[in-house]
Amino acid sequence: MSKDTCWLWSHNQFVAPQNLVLDYPSNLDLSSYIGKVPKEFLPYKNLLCEFGLRKSLSDQEIVGILHSIKKSIEGRQPPLTTSSEIKVSIEILNWLWREKKTVQDDIPVPVITKGGQFTLKPRSATVFCDVSKEGLDELQYSQEEIHVMHEEIPKASADWLNIRLLSTHILDPELVGIEQCGQFEPITMRIKNILKEYDEDSDIFKELIQNAEDAGAEACKFLMDFRVLKDAPESLIDPDMALCQGPCLWAFNNEQFTAEDWKNIVRVGSASKEDKLEKIGKFGLGFNTVYHVTDVPSILSGNSLLILDPNVTHLKKHIKHKTNPGIKLDLSLQRHFRYFPGQFGPYERIFDCNFTKQGPPAPYQGTLIKLPFRTEEEAFISEISKKVYHNDNIISFQQHLTNNSQTHLLFLKNVNTLSLQKISNNASTPPRDEEMETIFTVSKTTVSKMKIPDEAGLSKQNQAETALMKHDGKSKEVIDCSTVNIVQITSQQSGVTQVQSWLLYNCFGTR
């Protein structure tokens, strides 16, 4: 008798023993696709094996079921699955995750079609839906060919199978690594050690003002934002970013980041300005002072938004390894704002930022840094700092800028305007003009310049200047020893205007 002969009675029909199995693999129910030998025939299992009965299925055969179903679907019109095919496909994928089975090939996975039915598509063309239903509905009208995985497959299975998240596909982030110089150590440990060198959070304002000066900006503005936003987690690029929706410090200057700035901002352990005499800050090294108050700084400039997460506690969905603890987003793509309105909502009307207008946003004309103050929950798991910033701490921190505000601009060549504003915790989003309180403004104007008479002392200064210019031709931009400036500092605070005049002269120390 041929092995193809259907002679064994099983589940209301005659079947060939080769189309059955003796038992299913542990924790895997394949009953909707392949039958199991009825219990009453188990005493004859040796005989049945002679007729092709399989004792069980290998991992390769189990994965092969998915390919077999996909091939069968492709011959149909329309190419849709049956309910039993969907059931067994989901069972197999979840079993692969539970048993930690490694899958090498581009296996088929069940996806939803535009008509709300199901089919199988390759893993590489599939995404796991982690955005709101509204976002999914809009995706159906997209020009991009994207297949969304069946909703009964849990995220844990999708992660094990290395299925992309829909949010990651939408964001299309550039993964950004933090480059270390010198001896290697964990990024968080390196930053923690840098904070010991810059041991005061007052250094943050100094560094941000210096960075604006080095960029050639004329204005440097700060805003203390006490709003606590309660956006739905699915409206954020990662649910853990909800921890960053509370009080924060905004820092603005009116110059865009250069390609070199983007590179230097992620360098840790090296002063990227050490060979540039015209630069006064330590962009890269000094910028890390921001980690005194935050674990997740972000920088918006032009069409790019960089979000750094050295602890990898806020962007786990998109950051897979601690060596690349940041993402850089291309904001010329309008879809970012449609899918993640909660993420970008806090930026609205902050120093002329406008993401909600129709059409792609224009490149941001300047640089906007956001520093969300560290919460108790963040401090508990942070490897950088355990310091929490409650409202009292924030107000005390603000005083570092408010105190002696008249002198911050005194020796700067580019920045001539400095200001601090505040938004209260009950302000709307976006905030209205009357909800933005100005704490102080400071401006600097040069009243007059005078040349120093050519005397013996000046000759020595000129000799020193000439010697220095042989080393770096830009040194004269730093120190001009032949001119005296009279500047006027105008400050407005608490309704009081003060004007101070200063005589400024730079010189070299000579023998």
Give the total number of structural domains in the chain: 4
The answer to the question of residue 123 being in a domain is yes
413 and 478 in a single domain? The answer is no
User: Using CA atoms, how far apart are residues 427 and 405, in angstroms rounded to an integer?
Assistant: 26
CATH number at residue 191: 3.30.565.10
**Does residue 311 share a domain with residue 362?**
yes
What is the distance between the alpha carbons of residues 121 and 125, in angstroms, rounded to a whole number?
A: 7
In a domain, 7, yes or no: yes
Which one of 149, 171, 193 terminates a domain?
A: 171
CB 150 within 8 A of CB 111: yes
Same-domain check for residues 247 and 113: no
Residue 220 and residue 258 in one domain: yes
Q: Are residues 438 and 450 in the same domain?
A: no
Note whether 308 and 364 are same-domain residues.
Answer: yes
Write out the two tokens for 274: 């050490």
d(CA 308, CA 315): 9
Q: Which of 422, 442, 462 is the last residue of a domain?
A: 442
Task: Please give the pLDDT value at position 285.
Answer: 60
Answer whether residue 291 is part of any domain.
yes
Q: Are residues 113 and 205 in the same domain?
A: no
Are 477 and 350 contained in the same domain? Answer: no
Determine the 3-state secondary structure of 397 from DSSP.
helix
Identify whether residues 264 and 117 lie together within a single domain: no
Pairing relationship of beta strands 147-149 and 118-122 according to DSSP bridges = unpaired
Q: Judging by DSSP bridges, how do beta strands 14-15 and 417-423 pair with one another? A: unpaired
In a domain, 301, yes or no: yes
Give residue 474's pLDDT.
56
pLDDT (0 to 100) of residue 472: 58
405, 457: one domain: no
Give 470's contacts (C-beta < 8 A, 6+ positions apart).
none
Pair 137, 273 in one domain: no
d(CA 153, CA 118): 13
User: Is residue 69 domain-resident?
Assistant: no
Q: Are 2 and 131 in a shared domain?
A: no
Q: In tens digits, what is the pLDDT along the chain, a chain of 511 residues?
A: 767 777 777 777 777 777 677 778 888 888 777 777 777 776 766 777 666 667 778 888 889 899 999 999 998 889 999 999 999 999 999 999 999 998 877 899 999 988 889 999 999 889 998 887 766 665 665 667 788 999 999 999 999 999 999 888 888 888 787 666 555 578 899 888 888 887 678 889 999 999 999 999 999 999 999 999 988 888 899 999 999 999 999 999 999 999 998 888 887 755 444 444 444 444 446 788 999 999 999 999 999 999 999 999 999 999 878 888 899 999 988 888 888 999 999 999 999 998 876 666 789 999 999 999 999 999 999 999 999 999 999 999 999 898 878 888 998 999 999 999 999 999 999 999 999 999 999 999 999 988 877 664 556 556 656 665 665 555 555 667 778 889 999 999 888 999 999 998 877 665 5
| Residue 62 resides in a domain | no
Question: Last residue of some domain: 111, 142, 171?
Answer: 171
**pLDDT given for residue 282 in this prediction:** 42
Instruction: Supply the range of the domain harboring residue 238.
Output: 177-442
Domain assignment present for residue 67? The answer is: no
Q: Which of 159, 137, 204 is nearest to 369 (CA)?
A: 204
Domain membership of residue 64 (yes or no) is: no
